[in-house]
């Protein structure tokens, strides 16, 4: 699979809240079928980023770690989104995203294991965004309907500062 | 509840994660209560296998389950001292249908469906978490002696019948002895279920009726132990490794955060605690290899932070809901500090509420708890039936 690398945005986050804001901005550009590959060390902000995506999509459920079950599926809620992020409504840029799938590829040896566990049906859908933590491990073998985009997190060993690089954030 | 006393001899099957387990438990319904008698329990563990890869590899886990499932079931049936036909010796089948790893769950569920179809037996899908909740009610429960006079009376009803030892087919070691007991759970009961995949506070109004009181908002407590172990280069599974190192460490050496300790709800968060451990390690020794004492101090300080939050929230929730019993379950329930500190806190803050803690062999995944939960449900309600039975990786109890 080819990554969209034409546009690369390098952002700095100083807190969980800022990481979630970056995620919210990325959420505005999402289309159904997109796959986000999230990479960075333990504690770098991958899960926080997914929580930011979820909140921006109006999802209010707990976004708990998918490590144990490999992936968790959330339904996008439009009505709440309209009131929460004034300006985003049914006609908004992400209106055709219906589901968000949060994947943890840390424990799998190859993409086939994720497909075996049932991820395949979500990857085929054009109304679903799939966010994969440790995406680097499976990016070559994941079938992508829409666009594949990489978000990498670095830094953060001794401070709250993170460098978040978003590839293919815009076209 | 049934008016007459009824019993079911239940074959339990568990394969939601990295243990393949089967057990035979006789579940008896009396007027107010249930009693459980463990006939056999067999657990084939993949821990040694996954230790090599530093965690569970789903595809490897599923393949191991496929290889182990029938021998484990057959062993459990034979150990149970049933009649000559293995099929005739049980009345019903209970199997973990979720939550868990889909590919692992499917192995147990399909085995249960096939046996139910072939033998013409009722079969029920059980929630893994309900199994952990009931594990503290199972025979050979370790009962702390600070219970109220009423509960102490009930405690006397615990009968211990030494039976043939049960064995771990992976190591050949004895797991536990089969014991028998009857006890009355005082409702409502509050259960803390803590494992590698779950951290939940559940209110049990009565048998089968659960409400989620609180849960982790990110990582499970056991997952935090695994991740901290990884940061320190300790082996998988992280829980036992961290608590072993913590024994010689100073729990006050590092002041790690107590996430959500003072929040108004009963939720937990362990993701930030793991990140705090990472910062501390990077700050103190950016390059050098960690020495033993440092590792011990980090483990002890981290464990203390995690245990403190678990204990404080559980006790606060118990008081808030007016719990008459507190139950502990799940893999992290094996942690000594958690057991001791929860016991001390319950003694101090809700002295009239009995705290029930499962025997160590029932803290990890096992099929005894699944047979027990399935038996209770079948005695009060209905079977699932092999046609409808299906694995559900995200099945949530009490939501």
Q: Kindly report the pTM of this predicted structure.
A: 0.85
Which of B53, B215, B232, B275 to mutate: most A Cβ within 10 Å?
Answer: B275
Question: B45-60: per-residue pLDDT in tens?
Answer: 887 777 777 777 777 8
Instruction: Give percent of chain B above pLDDT 90.
Output: 61
ipTM, two decimals, is 0.78
Question: A55-75: per-residue pLDDT in tens?
Answer: 999 999 899 999 888 899 999
Check whether B168 has a pLDDT greater than 90.
Answer: no
DSSP state of B291: P
| B275 touches A43 (CB < 8 A) | yes
Out of B76-80, B95-99, B281-285, B376-380, least confident range? B281-285
Q: Using CA atoms, how far apart are residues B217 and B303, in angstroms rounded to an integer?
A: 19
Check whether B377 has a pLDDT greater than 60.
Answer: yes
Summarize the confidence of residues B150-177 as an average pLDDT: 35
For chain B, say whether A72 makes contact (Cβ under 8 Å). yes
Q: Hey, are the CB atoms on B393 and A69 less than 8 Å from each other? A: yes
| B73 touches B93 (CB < 8 A) | no
How close does chain A come to B156, measured CA to CA in Å? 39
What is the SS3 assignment for B298? helix
Which residue does chain B place closest to A159, by CA atoms?
Answer: B279
> Sign of torsion, CA B52 B109 B123 B72?
negative
Query: Domains, chain A, ranges and CATH?
Result: 8-167 (3.40.50.300)
Query: Domains, chain B, ranges and CATH?
Result: 6-183+361-380 (3.30.420.40), 189-353 (3.30.420.40)
Give the DSSP H or E segment for B384: none
Which of A16, A51, A52, A69 to mutate: most B Cβ within 10 Å?
Answer: A69
| pLDDT interval class at B288 (50, 70, 90) | low
> Sign of torsion, CA B36 B40 B44 B47?
positive
Of A51, A65, A158, the CB nearest to B219: A65
Q: Using CA atoms, how far apart are residues B66 and B63, in angstroms rounded to an integer?
A: 5
Check whether B161 has a pLDDT greater than 90.
Answer: no
| pLDDT interval class at B141 (50, 70, 90) | very low
């Amino acid at each position: 699979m080819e990554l969209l690398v034409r546009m690369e945005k390098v952002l700095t986050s100083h807190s969980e809240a800022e990481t979630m804001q970056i995620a919210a901005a990325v959420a505005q550009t999402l289309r159904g079928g997109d796959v986000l590959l999230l990479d960075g060390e333990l504690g770098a902000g991958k899960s926080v980023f997914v929580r930011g995506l979820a909140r921006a999509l109006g999802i209010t459920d707990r976004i708990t770690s998918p490590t144990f079950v490999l992936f968790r599926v959330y339904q996008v809620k439009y009505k709440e989104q309209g009131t929460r992020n004034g300006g985003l409504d049914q006609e908004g840029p992400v209106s055709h995203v219906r589901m968000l799938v949060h994947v943890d590829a840390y424990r799998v040896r190859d993409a086939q294991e994720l497909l075996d566990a049932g991820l395949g049906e979500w990857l085929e859908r054009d109304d679903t965004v799939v966010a994969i933590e440790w995406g680097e491990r499976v990016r070559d073998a994941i079938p992508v309907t829409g666009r594949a985009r990489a978000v990498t997190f670095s830094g953060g060993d001794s401070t709250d500062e993170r460098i978040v690089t978003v590839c293919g954030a815009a076209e | 509840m049934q008016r007459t006393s009824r019993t079911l001899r239940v074959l339990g099957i568990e394969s939601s994660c990295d243990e393949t387990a089967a057990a035979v438990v006789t579940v008896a319904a009396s007027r107010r209560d249930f009693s459980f008698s463990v006939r056999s329990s067999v657990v084939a563990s993949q821990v040694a296998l996954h230790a090599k890869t530093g965690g569970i590899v789903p595809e490897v886990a599923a393949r191991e389950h496929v290889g182990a499932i029938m021998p484990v079931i057959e062993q459990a049936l034979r150990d149970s001292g049933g009649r000559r036909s293995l099929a005739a010796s049980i009345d019903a089948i209970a199997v973990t249908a979720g939550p868990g790893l889909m590919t692992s769950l499917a192995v147990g569920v399909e085995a249960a469906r096939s046996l139910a179809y072939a033998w013409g037996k009722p079969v029920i899908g059980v929630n893994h978490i309900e199994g952990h909740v009931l594990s503290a009610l199972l025979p050979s429960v370790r009962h702390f002696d600070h219970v109220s006079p009423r509960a102490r009376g009930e405690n006397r009803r615990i009968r211990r019948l030494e039976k043939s030892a049960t064995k771990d087919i992976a190591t050949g070691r004895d797991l536990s002895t089969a014991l028998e007991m009857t006890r009355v759970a005082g409702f409502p009961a509050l259960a803390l279920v803590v494992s590698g995949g779950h951290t939940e506070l559940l209110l049990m109004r009565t048998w089968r009726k659960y409400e989620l009181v609180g849960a982790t908002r990110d990582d499970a407590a056991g997952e935090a132990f695994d991740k901290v172990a990884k940061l320190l280069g300790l082996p998988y599974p992280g829980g036992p490794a961290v608590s072993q190192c913590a024994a010689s460490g100073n729990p006050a050496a590092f002041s790690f955060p107590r996430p959500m300790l003072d929040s108004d709800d009963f939720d937990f968060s362990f993701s930030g605690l793991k990140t705090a451990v990472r910062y501390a390690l990077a700050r103190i020794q950016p390059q050098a290899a960690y020495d033993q004492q440092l590792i011990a101090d980090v483990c002890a300080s981290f464990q203390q932070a995690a245990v403190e939050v678990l204990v404080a929230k559980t006790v606060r929730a118990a008081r808030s809901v007016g719990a008459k019993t507190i139950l502990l379950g799940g893999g992290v329930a094996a942690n000594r500090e958690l057991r001791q500190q929860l016991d001390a806190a319950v003694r101090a803050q809700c002295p009239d509420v009995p705290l029930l803690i499962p025997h160590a062999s029932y803290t990890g995944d096992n099929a005894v708890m699944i047979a027990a939960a399935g038996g209770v449900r079948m005695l009060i309600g209905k079977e699932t039936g092999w046609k409808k039975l299906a694995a559900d990786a995200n099945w949530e109890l009490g939501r």
